[in-house]
Amino acid sequence: MSEERSLTYVAAFNEAVRQAMEADPDVFVAGEDVGAFGGVFGTFGGLQKAFGERRVVDTPISEQAIIGLGLGAAVSGLRPIVDLMFMDFICVAMDQIVNQAAKLKYMFGGKATVPLTITTAGGAGLSAAAQHSQSLEALLCHIPGLKVVYPSNPYDVKGLMTACIREDNPTVFIKHKRLLGMSGVVPEEPYEIPLGSARVAREGTDVTVVAWGRMANEALAAAEKLAADGISCEVIDPRTLQPLDIDTIVESTRKTNRVVVVHEAVKFGGLGAEVAAEIQEAAFDHLDAPVSRIGAPFSPVPFSPALESGYVPDAKRIAAEIRDLVARPLVGS
C-alpha cells in the first residue's frame, strides 16, 4: 500500500479516469471541452495531452449526440466516459438516457452489455442560477436499468468512478460542484468501491441521518455540533443511490429508532420520500417518531447568493431538525 496522501475531489476523479485509460485501451472520454480545456471544472485536465485526441474527444454542443455517441460505442465493445457539463443538461438527452441506454440490455434479452459511464456536475452553491444548479438524481433513480452514484468525498470519488468504468451497465456519476476543491486521503493505486454499498460515515445511537453528496458533509458537521449537546448521530452516506443500500439504513434505524433524511434536491417527490417509505416498510416497529425529511423548497434554485444560501439545507438547519426530532414524545406515548 502507498503512503497516505491528500488529493482534491477533482484530482481523485481525474486519477480514476487516467488509471482506467492506462489499463484499458477501450476506455475513452467524450464531451464538450473535455480536451485541451480539460472540462468546464478541470476534471479531465491533462488527459488529451496524455492520450491524444482520439481517446479524449471534444464534441459539438449536443447532449443527445454525446450520449448517442457513448451508447453506440458501448454496445460496440468500448468503454466510453461521456460528460454532460451540468446535471440540468440531462433533460436535453433524456430519450437517449431513459429510452435507449437504460433499456437496451432488457430489450436484447440480457445479451447486450452497455458499459457506458455518464458523468455530470450537480448541485447549487455557485450562483449558477436555475438552469445550472439543480439536483435531479430522483429522476434518474426512477429509471430501471440505470445505476446512479453521488460521492461526498475524494476517497469515494476515485473508488466509485473506477467501479463505474468497470461496470457493464450504464451508470450516471454525479459530482457536486461545491465539493470539487475538497481534499482527503486517496490511495495512489487503483481501487474499487462496490456499487450499492453505503458508508457509515459516523456511528451514533440517538438518530440516524441519511444524506449524500454535499449534504453528507453538512450532516457530519451537524452531528459534530450536536455531540456537544449530548445527542449522538449516526450518519449514513449511501454513495450509490441506485441501487440503494437500504439494508445498512434499516440496520441503523433499528439501532437509533429515529431517522432524518437530507438531500439538496426539492423536498417534494425527492429521493428522501423513497428512503422514508422503505424504512417504514422494513422497520416501522422500530421507529419512535416519523421519519423526518429535509430538502429544498418547491422552487427553482435562486441566482442571488443570499437567497441560494437560504434555499440549500445546511448543518445549522439539519441540527435544528434533529434537536426537534429527539425532543418529540415517543410515538404512542
Burial class, 27, CB count within 10 angstroms (exposed 0-12 / middle 13-18 / buried 19+): buried
Helix (H, G, I), strand (E, B) or coil at 242: strand
Q: If you search the block for the grid coordinates 439539519, which residue do you land on?
A: 318
Contact 202, 175 (CB under 8 A): no
Q: Name 242's Cβ contacts closer than 8 Å, sequence gap at least 6.
A: 140, 141, 146, 147, 148
Tell me the catalytic residues. 132
Residue burial 64-101, b: 16+ Cβ < 10 Å; e: rest: eebbbbbbebbbeebbbbbbbbbbbbbebbeebbbebb
Please count the other Cβ atoms lying within 10 Å of the Cβ belonging to residue 210.
31
Tell me the β-bridge partners of 57. 30
What is the C-alpha separation between 38 and 93, in angstroms, rounded?
A: 22
